[in-house]
Chains A and B, each alone.
Chain A
Amino acid sequence: MAKKIMIDPITRIEGHLRIEVEISGGKVINAWSSGQMFRGIELILRGRDPRDAPLITQRV
Chain B
Amino acid sequence: MTHYLASVRAVENAVGVQIPDNARIIRNMLHGAQFQHDHIVHFYHLHALDWVDVVSALKADPKKTATLASNVSEAPWGGVPYFKDVQNRIKTFVQSGQLGPFNNAYWGHPAYKLPPEANLMAVSHYLEALRLQAKAARMHAIFGAKNPHLQSFVVGGVTCAKDLTPDRIAEFLFLWKETQDFVKKVYLPDVLAVASFYKEWGGIGGTTNFLAWGDLPESDNEPESLFMPRGVIMKRNLAGVKMASPDEVTEHVAHSWYKGDAARHPYKGETQPQPGEYDTTGRYTWFKAPRYEGEPCEVGPLARVLVAYAWGKKEIKEIVDDVVSKLGIPLTALFSTLGRTAARCIETVAIGNAMEKWTMELIGNLKKGNTKTYESWEMPKSAMGCGLNDVARGSLGHWVEIENKKIKNYQLVVPSTWNLGPRCKNGKLGPVEESLIGTPVADPKRPLEVLRTVHSFDPCIACGVHVIDPDSNQVYKIKVI
The residue of chain A having its C-beta at the shortest distance from the C-beta of B446 within the complex is A5
CB distance from B118 to the nearest CB of A (A): 26
Please give, as numbers and ranges, the residues of chain B lying within 8 Å of A38 by CB-CB distance: 257, 273, 275, 286
Q: How far is the CA of A59 from the CA of B150 in the complex (A)?
A: 11
B436 touches A19 (CB 8 A): yes
| Contact-residue size bin, chain A (C-beta under 8 Å from the other chain) | 35 or more
Which one of B122-130, B277-285, B300-308 is at the A interface?
B277-285
The residue of chain B having its C-beta at the shortest distance from the C-beta of A44 within the complex is B410
Please give, as numbers and ranges, the residues of chain A lying within 8 Å of B278 by CB-CB distance: 18, 34
Q: How far is the CA of A5 from the CA of B151 in the complex (A)?
A: 42
A33 touches B286 (CB 8 A): no
Q: How far is the CA of A17 from the CA of B286 in the complex (A)?
A: 10
Known: A51-B11, A60-B3. A33 touches B430 (CB 8 A): yes
CB distance from A37 to the nearest CB of B (A): 6
Q: Residues of B within 8 Å of A, CB-based: how many?
A: 74
Interface of A is mostly: mixed
Please give, as numbers and ranges, the residues of chain B lying within 8 Å of A40 by CB-CB distance: 271, 273
Q: Contact flags (1/0) for A42-60 with B, using CB distance below 8 Å?
A: 1101111111111111111
CB distance from B418 to the nearest CB of A (A): 11
Please give, as numbers and ranges, the residues of chain A lying within 8 Å of B411 by CB-CB distance: 42
B447 touches A54 (CB 8 A): no
B286 touches A23 (CB 8 A): no
29 A-B residue pairs with Cβ-Cβ distance under 8 Å, sorted by A, are A4-B468, A5-B450, A6-B465, A7-B463, A8-B464, A10-B454, A12-B462, A14-B459, A15-B286, A19-B436, A27-B438, A27-B441, A28-B437, A30-B437, A31-B437, A34-B287, A35-B285, A38-B275, A40-B273, A42-B269, A42-B412, A47-B407, A48-B406, A50-B14, A51-B154, A51-B155, A54-B153, A55-B151, A60-B414
| Contact surface of A with B, Cβ cutoff 8 Å | 1-15, 17-21, 23, 26-43, 45-60
